[in-house]
Structure 1
Amino acid sequence: MTASILDLHGISRSYSTRQGLFGKKVPVHAVDEVSLSLKEGQTLALVGESGSGKSTTGRIALGLERPNSGYVLFRGTELPAADTPAWRRMRAQMQMIYQDPLAALDRRLSIIDQVREPLDIHDIGSASKRNNKALAMLDAVGLNASHATSLPYQLSGGQRQRAVLARALIMQPALLVCDEPVSALDVSIQAQVVNVLMDLQKELRLSLLFISHDLKVVRQVSQRMAVMYLGRIVEFGETHLLLSSPTHPYTKALVSAVPVAGRRTRERIILKGEPPNPAARPTGCAFHPRCAIARPECVRVSPTFSTLPDGRSVACHAVHTNPPTKEVGS
């Protein structure tokens, strides 16, 4: 049985915001009781609309933010406090790729200087060995020596994202958190970057937490998938099952929005309204104001997770399943 590399246990993260100029502070629940598990060498996709809490969950997984409650395990060890020697040692095994590669790169430094920088900081090897390793990593992501001496603005969007990937992998991490890594790229370039990422995952046996709203990309890269809505997981299971036969009404709506190739047609499910304000979270199931099959109990009671025979977990009152499980992804 494949061991877990990353475990999130009941993590919650809230912030305070003020209602109006002189109003009182109210909590905004960005992440609410999320539990997930990522297996070694696999990819777990985290999907949902903007504001669902995906990026905050990714930052908590890396220790860049601390949860208000719950905890994170990396290879069975709880993440140490930030900016401690133990945290820095563990963080060297965990890296992140952001959506905007230009914002992630220093516009004043050459690409090779930025890819080599983690080796320089940790003083790994001689200067020549560090330079050679940086060149080798650039080659691995499809960039050559001329790209290495370029400044970020001289590269295309796809080339910049390859450079960001090279920098993230230079320390040979075990875990990579990818936060919408190809959403800012053209479709043709997206495919190239995704293929490079998948090839390197196999070669280096990387584990990926892949945050995305693009279900076409999610289908290609992930083995398992978690659907988030307003800070909570609503459905979790094998990617091919959730995309071919979604169970939760929210998952069904997301899947229905994906174009289908050929002549096949799919009924589009149009959700009512916009996602609620996180500072005024609906009672019971947070999805009930937009749900076409909401019941009276959905307004009053927050649903617990139940397990279907195919192993997926669903939080929905309308789903008649096995007794509820304590943790999604366990």
Structure 2
Amino acid sequence: MTANILELHGVSRSYVTRRGLLGKKVPVHAVDGVSLSLQPGKTLALVGESGSGKSTTGRIALGLERPQNGHVRFQGAALPPADTPAWRHLRARMQMIYQDPLAVLDRRLFILDQVREPLDIHDIGPVSNRNDKALAILQAVGLNARHAASLPHQLSGGQRQRAVLARALIMQPALLVCDEPVSALDVSIQAQIVNLLMDLQQELHLSLLFISHDLKVVRQISQTMAVMYLGRIVEYGETGRLLSDPLHPYTRALVSAVPVAGRRTNQRILLKGEPPNPAARPTGCAFHPRCPIARGECRSISPPFSTLPDGRSVACHAVEADTRTKEAGA
């Protein structure tokens, strides 16, 4: 069996906020006991509503955030503490693509200089060859010499995201964490960037942790999928199976919101209310205030994360009870 390139074991991360200007400090659990694994050359999608903890999980995977509990392993070894020489050396093999390329690019520097910069920082290769290498990687992502001589504001949104991708790929990483990389782009440009990522993944044997709320994109690019709600994984398994036959009520609601030709809009599952405040997490299952099938135990007991006979995992009392009933009937 192929060893995992990335493993998160029970990682948790919380922050402290205040209720009011002089109120008492209250912990906010952004990530709570998350365990994930990613195989080399594959894509794991992390989906859920805004505020579910997806981006924090991605930052923990890269060592940009330190988990308060649990640990991260990259290529079989524990991730070293951030800002140490060992971590900075390892970061060349782990890169990130953000949602807004303008927030990443320096508006005063030409694109070629910004793509070349990681080579200068890590002192990789002869100085005389670095511009040529930067131009070659720009061409690999569909840009040319004219784009290389441009400033970020002179490029379109899709071209800027390609430049950010080139900057990440010039280090020849093994892992690419993509944090909503296409959500700010037009639909046609989204398809171009997703197809480019898939082509580059196959060519370079990249492993992708793909963070998104767009299940249409997730279906296209990922092999496995993890659904997050309020800092916890509620369902995990093969992408096609989760999208065609979701078990957790939250996953069902997300899947029902994806437009499908021929399906009536009244078949969409509408959840009650808004996601709870992470600083006042409900007891028991965090989803129970919005769940259409919540039962008594859901309000008081946190559901265990159980692996089912078909290989997927889910944290839901109702699903667990249905599974036991089917096994007893068999």
TM superposition score normalised by structure 1: 0.96
When the two chains are superposed, the root-mean-square deviation of aligned CA atoms in Å is: 1.4
Alignment match, 2:29? 29
**Contact 1:260–1:266 (CA under 8 A) maintained in structure 2:** no
The one-character-per-residue Cα deviations of 1:21-57 (angstroms, maximum 9, x if unpaired) are 1110010000000000001100000000000000000
The separation in 1 between residues aligned to 2:266 and 2:37, in whole angstroms, is 32
Which amino acid in 2 is paired with 1:261? A
The separation in 2 between residues aligned to 1:197 and 1:142, in whole angstroms, is 12
The separation in 1 between residues aligned to 2:263 and 2:28, in whole angstroms, is 44
Alignment match, 1:280? 280
The one-character-per-residue Cα deviations of 1:199-233 (angstroms, maximum 9, x if unpaired) are 00000000000000000000000000000000000
**Contact 1:257–1:268 (CA under 8 A) maintained in structure 2:** yes
C-alpha deviation, 1:127, in angstroms: 2.5
The separation in 2 between residues aligned to 1:263 and 1:284, in whole angstroms, is 34
The separation in 1 between residues aligned to 2:266 and 2:106, in whole angstroms, is 44
Alignment match, 1:160? 160
C-alpha deviation, 1:87, in angstroms: 0.6
> What percent identity do the matched residue pairs reach?
82
- 1:173 and 2:176 are equivalent in the alignment: no
C-alpha deviation, 1:256, in angstroms: 0.3
C-alpha deviation, 1:104, in angstroms: 0.9
Alignment match, 2:327? none
Alignment match, 2:289? 289
Equivalent positions of 1:75-86 (< 5 A) are 75-86=75-86
Alignment match, 2:40? 40
Which amino acid in 2 is paired with 1:118? P
The separation in 1 between residues aligned to 2:39 and 2:266, in whole angstroms, is 33
Alignment match, 1:317? 317
C-alpha deviation, 1:262, in angstroms: 4.3
Which structure has the highest helix share of the two? 2
TM superposition score normalised by structure 2: 0.96
The one-character-per-residue Cα deviations of 1:155-187 (angstroms, maximum 9, x if unpaired) are 000000000000000000000000000000000
The separation in 1 between residues aligned to 2:116 and 2:262, in whole angstroms, is 46
Equivalent positions of 1:159-308 (< 5 A) are 159-262=159-262, 267-308=267-308
The separation in 1 between residues aligned to 2:140 and 2:274, in whole angstroms, is 42
**Contact 1:307–1:323 (CA under 8 A) maintained in structure 2:** no
SS at 2:318 equivalent: coil
Structure 1: gaps spanning 5 or more residues = 325-330
C-alpha deviation, 1:123, in angstroms: 1.8
Alignment match, 2:17? 17
How many positions carry a matched residue from both structures?
Answer: 324
The separation in 2 between residues aligned to 1:16 and 1:264, in whole angstroms, is 44
C-alpha deviation, 1:301, in angstroms: 0.4
Which amino acid in 2 is paired with 1:285? C
Which amino acid in 2 is paired with 1:168? A
**Contact 1:198–1:221 (CA under 8 A) maintained in structure 2:** yes
Which amino acid in 2 is paired with 1:66? R
Alignment match, 1:131? 131
SS at 2:317 equivalent: coil
